[in-house]
Amino acid sequence: MTEFRTSSFCSLGDCVEIGRSASGEILVRDSKNREQGPLAFTRDEWAAFVAGVKNGEFEAS
């Protein structure tokens, strides 16, 4: 079973949860709808997403 965790910034319970599959994929799920199941990303996909966040690529203009 995958162990999911939330950010320490999550205080209201409406957060995303991150886990890792047995095969190494990064799993992301909605804490409000866990039954829906997680989205799965490769390590490269996840690294590209994190780099984009750090570079401000997803900031609202």
Taking the C-alpha atoms of residue 34 and residue 48, their distance in angstroms, rounded to an integer, is 25
Beta-bridged to residue 19, according to DSSP, are 27
Q: What number of residues does the chain have?
A: 61
Give the pLDDT score at 10: 84
Give the pLDDT score at 18: 94
8: confidence class by pLDDT, cuts 50, 70, 90: confident
32: confidence class by pLDDT, cuts 50, 70, 90: confident
Secondary structure in 3-state letters for the chain? CCCCECCCCCCCCCCEEEEECCCCCEEEEECCCHHHCCEEECHHHHHHHHHHHHCCCCCCC
